[in-house]
Amino acid sequence: MKILIVDDHQLFADALTITLKSFYPDAAVTTCEFPHWLLDNRQLLPGFDLLILDQAMPELDGLTLWSMVGRLMGEARVLVCSGSVDETTVRKAIQLKVNGFVDKSEPVEKILHAIREVMAGRSFFSESFRMLAGSEAKQPLTLTRQQLAILAMLQEGHGNKEIARQLFVSINTVKTHLRLLYEKLEVANRTACIEKARKLKLI
């Protein structure tokens, strides 16, 4: 089993690695502190069975990172392990169909239980997440993983060419996603698209 932990808190990542190795001696655990380093080395992503993501990272939040690299990881399962949860996080997690969300403040036994559930093909969501998800799950607007990634890059000011390069798609594909985004958000241009996405807490 190959596990990738992306967390800017190295002490937490190291402690989780030690715990995982004690329960899964044959597991190969890799840690990454900087999301953008991972984006620059995407060739390393295929082959992992589980991705454990911190959500609140200064460079790039975990769910946005997943929206950008998820398709490169094949059948890998994804578990968000974060210190807090809010409506924006819940909405993005639902949109991206993550396999689980566990609060870092949970006892280590609960975190390990979440990992086992996700690796067994099931899901696990902390109570705080489920409480917020009750209303968020009813939101009619649904965006694909790539559309959420494009929204994040629009907010950063990237043009179509750079978005296409980062997502490994053609410029025409980016234009198609933008057209669909404009339709779904009922806007006519990039500026309005970003403003509407912020209002809906999609970014």
pLDDT tens column, 3-33:
999 999 999 999 999 999 988 899 999 999 9
pLDDT reported for residue 200: 81
pLDDT reported for residue 138: 46
2-136 is classed in which CATH architecture?
3-Layer(aba) Sandwich (3.40)
Quickly count helices (H) and strands (E) in the chain: 10, 6
pLDDT reported for residue 135: 53
pLDDT reported for residue 141: 64
pLDDT tens column, 124-145:
998 888 888 875 444 446 788 8
- Evaluate whether 110 touches 101 at the Cβ level (below 8 Å): no
pLDDT reported for residue 18: 93
pLDDT reported for residue 50: 94
User: CA nearest 9: which of 56, 64, 79?
Assistant: 56
Domain range annotation of the chain: 2-136, 145-199
Q: Round the average pLDDT of the chain to a whole number and report it.
A: 88
Domain 145-199 fold: Arc Repressor Mutant, subunit A (1.10.10)
pLDDT tens column, 105-118:
888 889 999 999 99
C-alpha dist (Å) from residue 52 to 7, 38, 62, 169: 8, 13, 9, 26
- Evaluate whether 63 touches 81 at the Cβ level (below 8 Å): no
pLDDT tens column, 65-123:
999 888 888 889 999 998 888 888 888 888 888 999 999 888 888 999 999 999 888 88
Report pTM.
Answer: 0.69
